[in-house]
Each structure stands twice: as C-alpha cells, then as structure tokens.
Amino acid sequence: MLNCYNPQPSFGNLGPLPGKIIDIEGIDQSGKRTQTRLLAEELKREGAKVSTISYPIYKSPSGRQIQRFLQGKQNYPATALHMLYSLNRWENQELIVKLTETADFVIADRYYPSNFAYGVSRGLSLGWLQGLDRGLPTASLVIVLDVPVPSSFSRKSTGRDVHEKDRQLLLKVRRTYGRLAKKLEWKMVDANRPVEEVHEAVWRIVREQFRLAS
C-alpha cells in the first residue's frame, strides 16, 4: 500500500516501506523549485534516499498540450483544462510510483493540490477535482509557499506564461490555497522572506511531521 505512515522512520532500514511524497505548492514564482532543491539536500544530509519530480511533465503527450496552453497557443474551457492536468499525472503515474518504491522521500514541485487550488479558483467543484485524481499516490505532506502576488511579479517581470500573467487569477489562487490549507490540513509557510528563512520553516515542518531528529 502506498504512503503508509511510519511514525519513526529509520533511513537505514525502511525495508519495503514506500517513500513518502512531500508536495511543495504555491502560486507562480513562490520559490517552489528552490525549496524543493533545498529540502532534498537537507534530507540527503540526514541519510535519506530522496527523489524529486516536477509537474506538469511536459515531455508526455498531455504535457505538450499543457505547454501550448501556457504559451497562449491553445485555449480550453476550465473543465477540459483541469482534466488535462489530471491526465498528465495519470499518464505519468508509473514514474511517481517507481520513485516511491526506491526512495524514502519523493519531493514534488506541484502535484494534484495545484489542480484543486487553480480549479476551485476557476469556479470548479473541489469534490469533482478530487475525483479526477482519486487513486493516485497520496501526498503525505503538502506545504504551501505563500507569497503576495506583487512579490511574484517582482521575482519575474517578463516572459511569464498564461497563468503567470493573470494577476486576478493569482489573487484568487492565493486565497484558495489559504482556504484549502485549513480545510485539508496543508501547511502554510510565509515565503515572502529570505530563501534560507523559508527553508528553515519548511525543514521544521518536515522534521515534525515525520518525527525526524532535530
């Protein structure tokens, strides 16, 4: 069974236990890639086997369609768009399953919670969105990096994709992440501060969640 919670993991003898998925979420330019890398490095220093994955996976057929949408070359109604994002995860399900079988932790730069936040912000039902991804390996921990929309734009002012350009959408998504974090017990981190301070906050959450030695 995927993602069984082992309250006191010992990296030396996890045996057949599957890896735990840690999902790093947030609006565009919130620092997800950087915090994914720093968390992976921290866990490796602790002796854990760590893999990382980033969604969407653009090299797959659905990923190429998503890329066209983000480039403004293709448009979809909200329902079709979020089905496409879900298809991308199902299309690459075998990849993340294999990672959970070979690593103690799999850190995802976005996963199905992104579909919840962006989909609900577009007026879709949370229950419907959850149904799209039901059956995928479950994230053991979801951490949302919270930054104000102006900070997102200051970090990248040009070359932004369709999502990144839409200030009103990002405002809605940020609020939705906050609401869903309370409802679904995700962890929120103030990411509008120096990178190392954000990492320390993320690492503290991970240590507490998995009862790792401090």
The candidate with the shortest Cα–Cα distance to 28, out of 156, 125, 120, 127, is 156
Q: What is the CATH number of the domain that holds 121?
A: 3.40.50.300
Which of residues 9 and 212 earns the better pLDDT score? 212
Q: What pairs with residue 188 in β-bridges?
A: 144
Q: What is the pLDDT of residue 18?
A: 77
Residue 116 lies in a domain: yes
The candidate with the shortest Cα–Cα distance to 191, out of 43, 29, 22, is 29
Task: Look up the domain containing 63 and give its range.
Answer: 19-210
pTM: 0.88
Structurally, the chain folds into a number of domains equal to 1
Q: What is the pLDDT of residue 173?
A: 97
Q: What is the pLDDT of residue 49?
A: 97
State the greatest distance between any 2 C-alpha atoms of the chain, in Å, as a whole number.
49
pLDDT band at residue 159 under the 50/70/90 scheme: low
pLDDT band at residue 170 under the 50/70/90 scheme: very high
Residue 1 lies in a domain: no
Query: What would the pLDDT profile of 2-38 be if each residue is shown by its tens digit?
Result: 333 333 344 443 334 478 999 999 998 899 999 999 9
CB atoms within 10 A of CB 147: 23
Residue 13 lies in a domain: no
213 pLDDT higher than 80:
no
pLDDT band at residue 158 under the 50/70/90 scheme: low
Q: State the helix-helix crossing angle for 112-121 and 126-133, rounded to 10 degrees.
A: 150
Residue 11 lies in a domain: no
Q: What is the pLDDT of residue 6?
A: 36
